[in-house]
Amino acid sequence: GMRKIWWKEAVAYQIYPRSFMDSDGDGVGDLRGIIGKLDYLAELGVDLIWLSPHYDSPNADNGYDIRDYRKVSEQFGSMEDFDALLEGLHARGIRLIVDLVVNHSSDEHAWFAEARQGRDSATRDYYIWRDPAPDGGVPNNWPSFFSGPAWTWDEASGQYYLHLFAQKQPDLNWDNPALRGEVWDLMRFWLDKGVDGFRMDVIPFISKDPTLPALPEGVKPQRHYAEGPKLHDYLREMRREVLSHYDCATVGEGNGLDQEQMRRVVDERREELDMIFQFDVVEFDRDAAGNPRDWTLPEFKEIFARQAASMDGHGWTTVYLANHDCTRPVSRYGDDSPEWRAASTKVLNALLLTQKGTPFLYQGDEFGMTNFPFTEIGQFEDIAVRNAWAAAEANGTADEAAFLARLNRTSRDHSRTPMQWNAAPQGGFTTGTPWLAVNPNHATINAEAALAEVDGPWQFTRDLIALRKAQPALVYGDYEDLAPDHAAIFAYSRAIGGAGIAVVLNFGAEAQVFDLPEALSAPQVLLSSGATLQGQSVSLPGWTALICAWGQA
């Protein structure tokens, strides 16, 4: 039988609080700003929010460097505001998962301040310290994700500390049981408040091989850092100590894990995590150096087939096309030209909302926000970009035109520009100066204009969400790609027994005709963005989607 589980049936929406809505004019989004938009979210129909970090932080990495895990960022508001947000969401039947960033803390966390006091300090072992190599240099060749080595020298104590990300993000030592106890406690703190679970930042990296083996030549750092020897033990301990005592959901960021490792993390029989963000979809269009490369639709389809197969009856996963670390889907997988932006947004959201796995929609993608036209290095806020540019300048390889061209297709800041609410100055996001520039296209691309349309991307996305809620096959149905090799059409079925749903998507500007297999009998249109069905034959103008029920007759 089919066991119904709320987080499998949910449609999630990610809020990046810094960029969602500013209620007090300081140029930074805040919790009161989100509270003012709850009806917008309810109208869209999402029923699960993932809130990016809302904690006290010096913001070296926009909140992914936490100074106090039990305090709300003063920029974002107060604990009362958080409670009001949670209450407002729950009153609308929307659940909330918060970000759990515990691979590392901020270097301004009290634990690290104490740890720095010396080798005998009480929390020294909460972090990962090593003596210098015999030549006085760094202990090993590990690189940080934000340029430079993953080690920073601490003069006072004469040791290096490990940070896989920025210097201001020292890695926590999960091998210390007291540290794990602290993590369980802070998780309980938020669960006791009523949050419905966690999105777990770089969770595959929490367990380090104590010998810290050198990164072999040609191996991606994230592969090397993922699934240390105790990862599964620690996840099971977390489940036993904390999660199993609450009705909550967990989704781990899967960076670095291969398919088999991911399967282990979300296999329900192992009692680790519920869902994972698989990274293929945001990596397959990059070359080994991380530069954009050309790709084909069959390659793209293969990712979704693999993801669906990874839920082999004992696991679950997520589907997403973007988050705050990505560029905008319509600019990446669709066509953001004025002619096709709206139509291709519909196709991408149809894909997102009819796949197998819990869909996560990123703020602004419901109506097709686009990449930002960066023209100067100084416009980027992201520490990844700033450090990479500083490193290029330092080693004499800085080429501004090439750097800009690359970043215009890859920068995380594309998704972090403020939400475009209306055509007013600053897109209605703030009355002040936004922390990151608003996309100049807000004059035409904004929520208010989108809501005023009759059948624009916003309405289509809302209808897709409603359809997913009404059709169990879209949640639980088996996945089958109907034409894996087709270069322009992405067509698949979601079947439960002898009936189900078929989805046909035209991923290009040219019109296509696609014949549904006879086995998908008596198809009936449920939703379409301009494609039509006659018998088994689907006619699809450029960038259109059609969803039909079959086998009902």
Active site residues: 201, 253
436 in contact with ligand TEU (CB under 6 A): no
Is 101 a binder of ligand TEU (CB under 6 A)?
A: yes
Under the binding rule (CB under 6 A), the answer on residue 202 touching ligand TEU is: yes
Total residues interacting with ligand TEU, rule: CB under 6 A: 12
Query: Hey, which residues between 510 and 529 contact ligand TEU (CB under 6 A)?
Result: none
Distance of closest approach, residue 205 Cβ to ligand TEU, in angstroms:
9
Q: Taking the complex as a whole, how short is the minimal distance between the CB of residue 362 and ligand TEU, in angstroms?
A: 12
The residue count for the chain: 553
Asked if 316 contacts 266 with a C-beta cutoff of 8 angstroms, the reply is yes
Nearer Cβ to ligand TEU (325/481): 325
Q: Which of residues 453-492 bind ligand TEU (CB under 6 A)?
A: none
Does position 325 bind ligand TEU by CB under 6 A? yes
Least distance CB 78 / ligand TEU (angstroms): 24
Q: How far is it between the farthest Cα atoms of the chain? A: 77
Shortest distance (Å) from residue 204 CB to ligand TEU: 9
Nearer to ligand TEU, 145 or 198 (CB): 145
DSSP state of 421: -
Please select the residue that binds ligand TEU; options are 7, 13, 20, 64, rule is CB under 6 A.
64
Nearer to ligand TEU, 129 or 205 (CB): 205
- Please list the residues that pair with 13 across neighbouring strands: 49, 361
The two three-digit tokens of residue 31, written as one number: 């919790």
Is residue 532 within a helix (H) or strand (E), and if so which, with residue range?
strand 532-534
143, β-bridge pairs: 149
Give me the helix-helix angle, 79-91 and 177-193, nearest 10°. Answer: 60
DSSP 307-351: HHHT-SSS---EEES--TTS--HHHHTS--STTTHHHHHHHHHHH
In the bound complex, what is the minimum distance in angstroms from residue 147's beta carbon to ligand TEU? 10
Which one of 384, 483, 489, 538 is in contact with ligand TEU (CB under 6 A)? 384
Does the protein bind ligand TEU through residue 61 (CB under 6 A)? yes
For residues 331 and 415, which CB has a smaller minimum distance to ligand TEU in the complex? 415
* Spatial contact of 226 and 255, defined as CB atoms under 8 Å apart: yes
> What are φ and ψ of residue 328, in 5° steps?
-80, 135
Q: Which is nearer to ligand TEU, 61 or 227 (CB)?
A: 61
Rounded-to-10 torsion of CA 55, 58, 61, 67: -50
Q: Is 201 in the site for ligand TEU (CB under 6 A)?
A: yes
- CB closer to ligand TEU, 200 vs 483: 200
Cα separation, 36 vs 551, whole angstroms: 44
Burial grade of 132 (CB within 10 A; 0-12, 13-18, 19 or more): middle
249 or 282, CB closer to ligand TEU? 282
Number of CB atoms found within 10 A of residue 552's CB: 12
Closest distance between ligand TEU and the C-beta of residue 87, in Å? 27
Q: How far is the CB of 408 from ligand TEU (least distance, A)?
A: 16
Choose, by CB under 6 A, the member of 22, 107, 227, 253 that binds ligand TEU: 253
Compute the least distance from the CB of residue 121 to ligand TEU, in Å.
25
Of 173 and 446, CB closest to ligand TEU:
173
Q: Taking CB under 6 A as the rule, which mask of x and - marks residues 332-371 in contact with ligand TEU?
A: ----------------------------------------
Neighbouring-strand partners of residue 152: 161
Three-class DSSP labels, 409-449: HHCCHHHHCCCCCCCCHHHHCCCCCCCCCCCHHHHCCCHHH
C-beta of residue 344 within 8 angstroms of C-beta of residue 330: yes
**One of 16, 55, 69, 145 touching ligand TEU (CB under 6 A):** 145
Of the candidate residues 255, 349, 411, 512, the single one contacting ligand TEU (CB under 6 A)? 255
Give DSSP secondary structure letters for 85-116: HHHHHHHTT-EEEEEE--SB--TTSHHHHHHT
Kindly state the DSSP code that residue 171 receives in the 8-state scheme: B
Residue 357 identity (one-letter amino acid): G
Alpha helices in 395-512 (DSSP H): 400-410, 413-416, 447-452, 457-470, 472-476
Question: Under the criterion CB under 6 A, does residue 171 sit at the interface with ligand TEU?
Answer: no
Which residue ranges make up the site for ligand TEU (CB under 6 A)? 61, 64, 101, 145, 165, 201-202, 253, 255, 324-325, 384
